[in-house]
Structure 1
Amino acid sequence: MSKLDFRKAAFFQSAPTLATCPPEVGREVAFAGRSNAGKSSAINCLTGNGKLARTSKTPGRTQLINYFQLGDEPLYLVDLPGYGFAKVPLATKKEWDKNLSEYLYERQSLVGLVLLMDIRQPMKEFDTMMLNWAVEREMAVQILLTKADKLKKGPAKSTQFAVQKQLKEANIDDLVSVQLFSSLKKSGVEQLATTLNQWLQPEPPTLACEPMSEPE
């Protein structure tokens, strides 16, 4: 399996709803997280392009489903709207939630979810909701405990182990993995890239060959 070059990622399309997303060909991986989880920073860190996904000090600035294509193949990184928008009407929030759930449940080309959580505030209500949606679809999830540089190594590892324990107790640790990540220190990027390679370029199944019969 060849390694994908995430530096080739380029903006492809924005979509406000599932109906306006690109045709379902190829494979895509979605990035989701609360508005303060550092989602855009993680995408920019992975792709080595600080201007690819918009970053803002205003939570909830990303309000569309944004597609980034990797080279010429129909392989995409998808930046989902951040959750927790502070200054929008309740009706707008409900509409975004509806679009998000439809995308996660019905998008057949979606092969994995990267769920970002601030390491200082993991496993909040939104995170649990996203995990439940993904598990119902039997979809692989990679949890990024972002801003890991904000904690010393010992407490950061302790938080990772605590989240892993929760997943094991919920009996979903076979679908969900957890890693530490820091966009500032660029740590955890290789681990994330390896996971995305496996999701976007799965190994073809090996066919069992029947033994040749001896000539009579």
Structure 2
Amino acid sequence: MFKQSVFIKSAANKSGWIEDNIPEVCFVGRSNVGKSSFINTLANNKKLAKVANTPGKTRLLNFFDINNSSFRLVDAPGYGYAKISNSMKVEFGIMMEDYLTTRENLKLVCMLVDLRHKPTNDDVQMYDFLKANDIPVLMIGTKLDKLKRNEIAKNEKLIKETLEFDQNDVFVKVSNLDKINIKESYDALIRLLEVENG
């Protein structure tokens, strides 16, 4: 769990990015995957990342200082929400491609997928994009508490097959509600970021 976490700023484009050399982990996932809840659970702060009532509401990159500038967490807008305009989808695509391909601070992407469902085309495209650009990925399967025990392995297999999951990447199944594997996901994040734990 994060020892310290504080919101710094939001940015719509490169001009709003923070200029320093602090490593960043970017959290991505489709709308309603439980990204904000997962961030809040890691931080043990229900209000850190706003859990929007309307999926796709967050259209900015939100920067958070973690563990007294040990690293930064960057919360990206949820993707794949049908009720936003095409122009907003284009803006989102440009912003994300710019950040993911040119941001030198970026050391890791934490990609969240819903364990209950087969990955969407947007999920597949995001993962393919990350792999094509040699960006390290920590995959988090959310909503573990919503699955029956006999569904877990089957659903994980389907997700990995659909994404053509790289076995060198780490996959952690979590429940924000029951706090299952939250420490394991945090430990994996710290290990992959190669930063001091605290």
TM-score of the aligned structures, taking structure 1 as reference length: 0.83
| More deviation, 33-42/193-202 | 193-202
Task: Quote the Cα distance in structure 1 between the aligned partners of 2:153 and 2:12.
Answer: 37
Q: Distance in 1 between matches of 2:160 and 2:81?
A: 28
Query: Secondary structure of the equivalent of 1:11?
Result: strand
For residue 117 of structure 1, report the CA deviation from its aligned partner: 1.1
Moved over 6 A (4+): none
More divergent stretch after superposition (78-87 vs 45-54): 78-87
Q: Which of these residues, 181, 184, 191, is aligned with residue 177 of structure 2?
A: 184
Residue in structure 2 matched with residue 195 of structure 1 by the alignment: 188
Structure with larger Rg: 1
SS at match of 2:89: helix
Q: What is the CA–CA distance in structure 1 between the aligned matches of 2:24 and 2:86, rounded to whole Å? A: 30
Q: CA RMSD in A?
A: 1.9
Task: Provide Cα deviations, 1:152-204, integer angstroms capped at 9, x if missing partner.
Answer: 1221122123333456xx47322x2222111111112011111111133358x
Q: Distance in 2 between matches of 1:85 and 1:164?
A: 22
1:173 aligned onto 2:167: yes
Do the aligned partners of 1:156 and 1:180 also contact (CA within 8 Å) in 2? Answer: no
Match of 2:138 among 129, 136, 142: 142
State whether structure 2 residue 34 is matched by structure 1 residue 41.
no
Distance 1:196 1:82 in 2: 20
| Cα distance in structure 2, aligned partners of 1:142 and 1:102 | 20
Paired with 1:88 and 1:35, the residues of 2 have a C-alpha distance of 11
Give the counterpart of 2:6 among 5, 10, 18: 10
What is the match of residue 100 of structure 2? Answer: 104
Deviation at 1:131, TM superposition (A): 1.0
Structure 1 range deviating more: 46-55 or 145-154: 145-154
Name the CA distance, whole Å, in 2 between partners of 1:202 and 1:112: 11
Distance 1:122 1:30 in 2: 22
Partner of 1:212: none
Q: Residue 61 in 1 paired to residue 54 in 2?
A: no
**Equivalence for 2:156:** 160
Cα distance in 1 for residues equivalent to 2:137 and 2:24: 13
CA distance in 2, matches of 1:196, 1:109: 15
Q: Which has the higher contact order (CA 8 A, sep 6+)?
A: 2
Which residue is 2:48 aligned to? 52
Cα separation, partners in 2 of 1:9 and 1:79, compared to 1, 3 Å: same
Instruction: Please give the alpha-carbon distance, in whole angstroms, between the structure 2 residues aligned to 1:27 and 1:122.
Output: 31
Distance in 1 between the 2:117 and 2:15 partners? Answer: 33
Aligned residues: 196
What runs of 5+ residues in structure 2 fail to find an aligned partner?
Answer: none
1:122 shift after superposition: 3.4
Which TM-score applies when normalising by structure 2?
0.91
Deviations 1:88-131 (A, max 9, x none): 32112111111111111111111111111111223211111111
Q: Does residue 1:81 correspond to 2:77, yes or no?
A: yes
Contact 1:147–1:182, Cα closer than 8 Å, also in 2: yes
Which runs of 5 or more structure 1 residues have no equivalent in the other structure? Answer: 204-216
